Amino acid sequence: MKDFFKQMFATIAGILVLTIVTGILGVMSIVGMVASGSATKNVSDNTVLVINLQGVMEERAEDNIMAELTGQTMQNIGLDDMLNAIEKAKNNENIKGIYIEAGLFSVDSYASMQAVRRALADFRKSGKWIVAYGDTYTQGTYYLASVADKVLLNPSGQIDWHGVAAQPMFLKDLMAKFGIKMQLAKVGKYKSAPEMFTADGMSEPNREQMTAYIKGIWENVCKEVSASRKISVETLNTYADNFITLDDTKNYVKYKMADKLVYTDEIKDEIRKMMKLDKDDDINTVGLADMKQLKGGKDKGDEIAVYYAYGDIVDSEAGGSMMSQGHKIVGTKVCKDLEKLMNDDDVKAVVLRVNSGGGSAYASEQIWHSVKKLKEKKPVVVSMGGMAASGGYYISCVSNWIVAEPTTLTGSIGIFGMFPDMSGLLTQKLGVKFDEVKTNKYSAFGTQARPFNEEEMAYLNAYIDRGYNLFRNRVAEGRKMKTENVEKLAQGRVWLGQDAWRNKLVDELGGLDKAVAKAAALAKVKEYHTAAYPAKADWMEQFMNKASGGSYIDNSMRAALGEYYEPFMLLKDINKQNAIQARIPYIIKVK
């Protein structure tokens, strides 16, 4: 028996030792792969940058070490990485052109696509070429690809061209089935975010603003495609009205939407022609991941910090948000980060890159205060991405200068409070009974046993009014406008960047590069470089996050629910959000 236990314990010890050694070797392997992947690389002559439009492009994507290790092809692409890669390719004499391959590609906004398209157009102006190919072009990928010297299409392919539509979703009746309804206090006739929970359809003010901005987006798309493809805007609208998406493929060349129909094995020959190579010559290629490790110039001059603030604005890391699974602007963290930048003498100016539809009004006010303090010590320039609206505009308005894309969604100056009444669920659906004793008139304020009464709602409305007046005054102060002039642009109205510029809510139209240049000018520095903040998660943080399984469950839910994922998450986290919100309409699906 003793020998048995000795052998058993020896076996267990051996398994433990083997597990530990295997784990150490695994970690060492990961470290080795990370180290080799981060090594700087050179580019051979006659090289082509390959941009595979596949996956999801977001404001700033983490370097997904686990995806690289597991060989995943559908990865998130950072807008920052995309723009940096195109800029490096433009300045590298060994990279002769760009090959764009259209695939299943999703982007958070037309403003992000506009930034990429402008970078591609700038690449062409340097004297280099771009070739695009697609088995099928979505409208978004075609918008990007249309800037190319040659737009190639599979003979059995398709170009989707149909215009822009917005289809807001309304959940009031769904919630009623569970005995839940929303009690609303808001300021601003255009503040339409709560309509999802309180209405059956769009209000007329909401319809007015949504019509204005989707028309503005489409006008920008048509104007830019028209300039590249030499097709009139009127003709492009005719194509959309005739729904050429389902047309005969040969007609796309006739319509000048494509230059040539080719199969995939013929693409290399088209690229060789652009490079003036012989038929059997090899083509050297680099991808977006390679461009991150491409040797570049040293960081010279003074530092301009670019701080990325994107996603829902929430009070704290622990606090819930309406889209709790995505990246968040955490008020407590951002305030601390901005204080560090303020006290860093090596940082001469800060560009705040904002891509947010807002969120917590309280957190927005705290960040506003931090931006104001930072501005007192060094220049602060805001670069707006796809959205910088409501709370996103709140944190932007105090800066020295605001740069927005023409199709950025901004403004939405207004706030609301939304309070779920679950008494119907509890008392009627579940049969829960309540009784009450109290010491004072409002001791039971906020109880789940009943909805707010008229007097309680009056207090809430007065509280929301004060918050709206504060927001409006912040804008008036930051933009150096009279309060009554701000009021004409407020009431929760959402503006396109180009319209906000005309109304002096922003100072300039353009991308991050213009914002950086303005920050340098305000700081009076001639030679400078940029540094991105906050730092991205390192490989160990990513490994630990993956091990928790949360992201796997989230990705599975996204795949299963599709466009219904966000509404599901709204309902799931409805009690976790800050009740007072400065937010754009919750889910804007532009199709």
| pLDDT, position 196 | 87
Residue 288: give the domain boundaries: 47-162+243-292
Contact at 8 Å (CB) between 578 and 359?
yes
- Tokens 């697609």 label which residue? 134
Report how far apart the first and last C-alpha atoms of the chain are (Å, whole number). Answer: 73
Calpha distance 562→346 (Å, rounded)? 45
Q: Are residues 70 and 124 in the same domain?
A: yes
For residue 478, the Cα-to-chain-centroid distance in whole angstroms is 25
Residue 588 lies in a domain: no
Confirm whether 549 is domain-assigned.
Answer: no
Q: Which of 542, 533, 534, 554 is nearest to 68 (CA)?
A: 542
Q: What is the pLDDT of residue 194?
A: 87
Distance, C-alpha 372 to centroid of its chain: 24
13 located within any domain: no
**pLDDT for position 191:** 87
Whether 382 and 515 share a structural domain: yes
For the chain, the average pLDDT equals 86
- Are the C-beta atoms of residues 120 and 99 closer than 8 Å to each other? no
Q: CA 583: distance to chain centroid?
A: 15
Q: Report long-range pairs for 18-23 (Cβ below 8 Å, ≥24 apart).
A: none
Residues 339, 540: Cα–Cα separation, whole Å: 27
Residue 31's pLDDT is 46
pLDDT of residue 483: 95
**Residue with more model confidence, 447 or 584:** 447
Give the pLDDT of residue 193: 83
Is residue 186 domain-shared with residue 328, that is, in the same domain? Answer: yes
The structure tokens listed for 21 are 């050694």
- HEC-encoded secondary structure of 317-381: CCCCCCCCCCCEEEHHHHHHHHHHHHHCCCEEEEEEEEEECEEEHHHHHHHHHHHHHHHHHCCEE
**Other beta carbons within 10 Å of 393:** 35
On whether both 268 and 306 belong to a single domain, the answer is no
Report the pLDDT value the prediction gives residue 92, as an integer from 0 to 100: 93
CA dihedral for 206, 209, 211, 213, sign (positive or negative)? negative
Are residues 360 and 259 both part of a single domain?
no
- Residue 96 and residue 58 share a domain: yes
Spatial contact of 408 and 428, defined as CB atoms under 8 Å apart: no
57 plus 187 within the same structural domain: no
Per-residue pLDDT band for 76 (boundaries 50, 70, 90) equals confident
Mean per-residue pLDDT, 382-389? 96
Q: Which of 541, 563, 579 is the last residue of a domain?
A: 541
Question: How many CA atoms lie within 13 Å of 24's alpha carbon, on the beta-carbon side?
Answer: 6
pLDDT at 160: 96
Indicate if 292 belongs to the active site.
Answer: no
Whether residue 552 is predicted with pLDDT greater than 60 in this model: the reply is no
Range with top average pLDDT, 12-16, 335-339, 419-423, 434-438? 335-339
- What is the DSSP pairing of strand 312-314 with strand 95-107? unpaired
361 and 250 in one domain?
no
Tell me the percentage of the chain whose pLDDT exceeds 70.
80
Within this chain, do residues 317 and 455 fall inside the same structural domain, yes or no?
yes
Whether 146 maps to a domain, the answer reads yes
Predicted confidence (pLDDT) per residue in 192-229, tens digit: 888 888 999 999 999 999 999 999 999 999 999 999 99
Kind of pairing between the strands at 358-360 and 580-583? antiparallel
pLDDT tens per residue, range 108-137: 889 999 999 999 999 999 999 999 999 999
Residue 578 has pLDDT above 70, yes or no: no
**If you search the block for the tokens 């730092």, which residue do you land on?**
535
Q: Of these residues, 321, 364, 370, 390, which one is catalytic?
A: 390
Q: Which of the pair, 65 or 233, is modelled with greater confidence?
A: 233
Q: Residue 36 has what pLDDT?
A: 44
Closest listed residue to residue 461, CA positions, set 183, 77, 157, 114: 183
CA distances to 155, 413, 494, 519 from 188, in Å: 52, 8, 11, 33
pLDDT band at 583 (very low <50, low <70, confident <90, very high): confident
Bigger pLDDT: 541 or 334? Answer: 334
Ramachandran category for residue 333: left, alpha or beta (phi over 0 → left; psi -120 to 50 → alpha)? alpha
Q: Are residues 314 and 409 both part of a single domain? A: yes
Distance CA 268, CA 262 (A): 10
Query: For the residues 182-189, what does the mean pLDDT come to?
Result: 88
Task: Give the pLDDT confidence score for residue 34 in this predicted structure.
Answer: 44
**260 counts as catalytic:** no
pLDDT at 42: 77
Confidence category of residue 313, pLDDT binned at 50, 70, 90: very high
What confidence tier does 324 reach under pLDDT thresholds 50, 70, 90? very low
* Residue 207 covered by a domain: no
Q: Specify the length of the chain in residues.
A: 591
- Is residue 564, in this structure, part of any structural domain at all? no
Q: Is residue 554 part of a domain?
A: no
CA distance 416 to 438: 29
Residue 442 has pLDDT above 60, yes or no: yes
The pLDDT of residue 62? 74
* 510 shares a domain with 384: yes
Residues 355 and 414 in one domain: yes
Q: Which residues contact 49 (CB under 8 A, 6 or more apart)?
A: 85, 86, 89, 95, 97, 98, 99, 285, 286, 287, 291
**Marked catalytic residue, from 191, 348, 378, 518:** 191
- The pLDDT of 313-339, averaged and rounded, is 79
What is the rounded CA–CA span in Å between residue 83 and residue 390?
A: 27
pLDDT of 239 higher than 60: yes
In a domain, 83, yes or no: yes
Q: How many structural domains are present in the chain?
A: 2
**How confident is the model over 159-186, as a mean pLDDT?**
90
Q: Look at residue 548 in the predicted model and tell me its pLDDT.
A: 47
Boundary of a domain, candidates 292, 319, 353:
292
More confident residue, 425 or 571: 425
Average pLDDT over every residue of 31-45: 57
Domain edge (last residue) among 519, 541, 563: 541
Whether the link from the prior residue into 406 is cis, omega within 30° of 0, is: no
pLDDT digits (tens, 9 = 90+) for 457-483: 999 999 999 999 999 999 999 999 999
Average pLDDT over residues 253-262: 97
Q: What is the dihedral of CA 365, 368, 372, 378, to 10 degrees?
A: 150
List the CATH number of the domain containing 430.
3.90.226.10
